Amino acid sequence: MQPVFRYRRWLDDEKRLKPEGPEWQHQSKPDIELLSIAEIESHLPPLRGPQASVVNYVNKLEEAEKRLIDFYNGNNNTFQKHTWDMKRAKHIEYQAIANSLLRIVGGSIGERRKDDNPVLIGVGLGQFRSSSRLSSLHSSFLSYFVPLVRSLGYIVISLNEFYTSKKCPDCHEFVTQVTLRKLFCRNCGRYHHRDVMAAENMSNIAREYLLNQERPLYLHPVTADGRYPWVESRSPGQETAEGATVGASTTTAPIQAGGTRTRKKRSKCGTTQEKRERQGKVAKKL
Ligand SMILES: [Zn+2]
């Protein structure tokens, strides 16, 4: 996701620039000429709330109009060129990521999935929190990826990721965290990579749904008195929060019929811990 971040940083810096040059030094210039674009945009009067006034807003906007038009459309189209470059770079990067994800299951973005070798792609429902001021691009990638792979004949389902990075897929006990991405299961004495383990758990969920139409019990929340609220709240014919609802949203863990387990390489596409948690997912044998 580097092109987008680079572009946002560039735009931020550009907007912070104060007008300079001798012609701006004269105090006779109206205030608006001395402000940066960021200041102009953040000083527009509110359109909502108690002090909202469309008239004030439009008046201020008209004062600033020339500066804004110069910024967004003038200046040799610098803004539009940067925007176009970013979009192109982003698209190419999305293609590359989608391709490397599909390669795990022996496909590519230019190839329809054969009907006799179907692949189920599980996508986590989790939403990312981005710790930087830049928002997460995960859902932006998914809005590219999900329609693409569906059009190629892949089956995409979304899965609730509850406990998937907390419990061991082998013995179903809680794991302990060793480092940021390394987990240890005391019960089986096995180390897990957090993302790989989460993906294994997600493929367990998908498999259980296919075989028994329910989520594995070890990946259910349990109350203090040992009840499973999700199981109790489930009514026949209706998928609940834990369900494998066919739909959109985050995280990919493809499960291939007759495939082998491979680590997904998606470390490029995020900068925060939460993002990485959903990356590096696994393709797993069903
Ligand atoms: Zn274990």
pTM, entire model? 0.65
Report the separation in Å between the CA atom of 170 and the middle of ligand 1, taken as the mean of its atom positions.
Answer: 5
Based on the fold, state whether residues 124 and 183 are members of the same structural domain: yes
Report the separation in Å between the CA atom of 270 and the middle of ligand 1, taken as the mean of its atom positions.
Answer: 28
> Ligand 1 is a single-atom ion; what residues have CB below 5 A from it?
168, 170-171, 185, 187-188
Nearest Cα residue to 257 out of 125, 122, 119, 154: 119
Q: Characterize the bridge pairing of strands 155-159 and 262-263.
A: unpaired
Report the separation in Å between the CA atom of 203 and the middle of ligand 1, taken as the mean of its atom positions.
Answer: 16
Q: Is residue 27, in this structure, part of any structural domain at all?
A: yes
Based on the fold, state whether residues 31 and 165 are members of the same structural domain: no
Helix (H) or strand (E) holding 283: strand 282-285
Based on the fold, state whether residues 61 and 122 are members of the same structural domain: no
Based on the fold, state whether residues 115 and 61 are members of the same structural domain: no
Based on the fold, state whether residues 103 and 230 are members of the same structural domain: yes
3-state class (DSSP) for residue 233 = helix
The predicted pLDDT at position 127 comes to 60
Domain that holds residue 62: 18-73
Based on the fold, state whether residues 137 and 210 are members of the same structural domain: yes
The predicted pLDDT at position 149 comes to 96
Q: C-alpha angle with apex 285: 282 to 286, nearest 5 degrees?
A: 120
Report the separation in Å between the CA atom of 175 and the middle of ligand 1, taken as the mean of its atom positions.
Answer: 7
Q: How many domains does the chain have?
A: 2
Q: Which of 50, 73, 96 is the last residue of a domain?
A: 73
The predicted pLDDT at position 87 comes to 94
Q: Is residue 3, in this structure, part of any structural domain at all?
A: no
Based on the fold, state whether residues 118 and 63 are members of the same structural domain: no
Q: Characterize the bridge pairing of strands 253-256 and 282-285.
A: parallel
Report the separation in Å between the CA atom of 201 and the middle of ligand 1, taken as the mean of its atom positions.
Answer: 12
Q: Is residue 1, in this structure, part of any structural domain at all?
A: no
The predicted pLDDT at position 134 comes to 47
The predicted pLDDT at position 94 comes to 94
Question: How many angstroms separate the CA atoms of 183 and 159, rounded?
Answer: 22
3-state class (DSSP) for residue 168 = coil
Q: Is residue 157, in this structure, part of any structural domain at all?
A: yes
Question: How many angstroms separate the CA atoms of 25 and 32, rounded?
Answer: 13
Report the separation in Å between the CA atom of 192 and the middle of ligand 1, taken as the mean of its atom positions.
Answer: 9
Report the separation in Å between the CA atom of 167 and the middle of ligand 1, taken as the mean of its atom positions.
Answer: 8
Based on the fold, state whether residues 65 and 122 are members of the same structural domain: no
Q: What is the mean pLDDT of each run of 10 residues along the chain (286 residues)?
A: 87 88 56 84 84 86 88 86 93 94 93 92 73 62 93 93 94 95 95 94 94 94 90 62 44 44 34 36 37
The predicted pLDDT at position 84 comes to 94
Based on the fold, state whether residues 113 and 63 are members of the same structural domain: no
